[in-house]
Amino acid sequence: MRWLLFPCLLLSFLVLAEPEAASPSNEFERIEKLEQDINQLYREAQNQSGTARNIIDMQMLKKNEDIRNELEDLIPKRTDENTPTLLKFVRVQVDYLKMAMTFLLKQINKMQSELDAADAEQRLLMQKTLHEVTRFYHQIMQEQWVNFQWLRTLGHPLDKAESALIDTVSQRIDFVSAKLTFDHQQETMLTKQIKAAAEAEKSSLQIQHILAQRQVVSDTEELKNLVALARDMGLDTTEMTKQLFEVTGDLTNELMNTKVLVSLISGWTKNLKDWVFQNTPQALFKLFIFMVILFIFRLLKLLTRRIVTRAVSSPTLKMTQLMKEFFISMSGNIVFVIGLLIALSQIGLNLAPVLTGFGVAGVIIGFALQDTLSNFASGMMLLIYRPFDVDDYVEAGGTSGKVSHMSLVNTTIKTFDNQILIVPNSKIWGDTIKNITHERVRRVDMVFGIGYNDDIEKTERILHDILDKHPAVLRVPEANIRLHTLNTSSVDFIVRPWVKTEDYWDVYWDVTREVKMRFDREGISIPYPQQDVHLHMVSEEKNPK
pLDDT digit string, tens, across residues 4-15: 444 444 444 444
Q: Indicate the helix (H) or strand (E) that contains 100.
A: helix 83-117
| Closest residue by Cα to residue 529 from 489, 481, 497 | 489
Classify residue 160 by burial, with Cβ atoms within 10 Å: 0-12, 13-18, 19+. exposed
Return the pLDDT at 320: 66
Q: What is the CATH number of domain 387-435?
A: 2.30.30.60
Return the pLDDT at 1: 44
The Cα–Cα gap between 106 and 121 comes to 24
The Cα–Cα gap between 519 and 27 comes to 142
Binning pLDDT at 50, 70 and 90, where does residue 134 land?
Answer: confident
Residue 137 phi, psi (nearest 5) = -60, -45
Q: What is the CB neighbour count within 10 angstroms for residue 423?
A: 20
At 284-309, the pLDDT tens digits run 777 888 888 888 888 888 888 888 88
* Domain boundaries for CATH 2.30.30.60 within the chain: 387-435
Q: Give the SS3 label for residue 304.
A: helix
First to last CA, the chain: 146
Return the pLDDT at 322: 65
Binning pLDDT at 50, 70 and 90, where does residue 506 land?
Answer: very high
For 352-356, the CB contacts below 8 A with 24+ separation are: none
The proportion of the chain whose per-residue pLDDT surpasses 70, expressed as a percent, equals 80
At 383-420, the pLDDT tens digits run 777 788 888 888 888 888 888 877 778 888 888 888 98
Amino acid in the structure at residue 30: R
Mean of pLDDT values over 440-455: 93
Mean of pLDDT values over 454-472: 93
Return the pLDDT at 410: 85
Residue 450 in contact with residue 526, Cβ under 8 Å? yes
Return the pLDDT at 473: 93
Burial 352-373 (b: 16+ CB within 10 A, else e): eeeeeeeeeeeeeeeeeeeebe
Return the pLDDT at 337: 82
> Which CATH code, of 3.30.70.100, 3.30.390.30, 3.40.50.1980, 3.40.1280.10, is assigned to 441-522?
3.30.70.100
Quick check: 497 pLDDT over 70? yes
Return the pLDDT at 38: 76
Residues contacting 313, CB < 8 A, separation 6+? 324
Q: Average per-residue pLDDT in the chain?
A: 78
**Cα-based distances in Å from 469 to 448, 493, 512, 519, 523:** 18, 19, 14, 16, 20
Return the pLDDT at 302: 86
DSSP class per residue in 260-288: HHHHHHHHHHHHHHHHHHHHHHHHHHHHH
DSSP 503: G
Quick check: 32 pLDDT over 90? no
The Cα–Cα gap between 481 and 43 comes to 139
Q: Helices 29-45 and 50-74, interaxial angle, to 10°?
A: 170
- The strand order across the sheet containing 480-486 reads 446-450, 491-496, 480-486
Return the pLDDT at 451: 92
Return the pLDDT at 312: 75
Residues contacting 328, CB < 8 A, separation 6+? 305, 308, 309, 312
The Cα–Cα gap between 491 and 454 comes to 9
CA atoms within 13 A on the CB side of 188: 7
DSSP 540: S
Strands 480-486 and 446-450: unpaired
Alpha helices by DSSP H, listed for 432-528, are 456-469, 504-522
Mean of pLDDT values over 346-370: 61
Query: How much of the chain is in helix, strand and coil states, percent to nearest 5?
Result: 70, 10, 25
Quick check: 426 pLDDT over 80? yes
**Cα-based distances in Å from 99 to 158, 162, 168, 356, 503:** 16, 15, 14, 64, 117
Binning pLDDT at 50, 70 and 90, where does residue 465 land?
Answer: very high
The proportion of the chain whose per-residue pLDDT surpasses 90, expressed as a percent, equals 14
Return the pLDDT at 530: 66
Return the pLDDT at 24: 46
Return the pLDDT at 6: 46
Asked if the peptide bond before residue 529 counts as cis, ω within 30 degrees of 0, the response is no
Residue 99 phi, psi (nearest 5) = -70, -35
At 237-266, the pLDDT tens digits run 777 777 677 777 554 555 445 555 555 566
Strands 434-435 and 420-424: unpaired
Lowest mean pLDDT: which of 90-104, 160-174, 241-255, 299-313?
Answer: 241-255
Return the pLDDT at 274: 66
Give the residue, 529 or 522, on which the prediction is more confident: 522
Q: Indicate the helix (H) or strand (E) that contains 449.
A: strand 446-450
Residue 298 in contact with residue 336, Cβ under 8 Å? yes
The Cα–Cα gap between 70 and 306 comes to 97
* Domain boundaries for CATH 3.30.70.100 within the chain: 441-522
pTM of the model: 0.47
Lowest mean pLDDT: which of 148-157, 249-258, 461-470, 497-506?
Answer: 249-258
Return the pLDDT at 459: 93
Mean of pLDDT values over 458-479: 93
Quick check: 131 pLDDT over 60? yes
Mean of pLDDT values over 87-97: 84
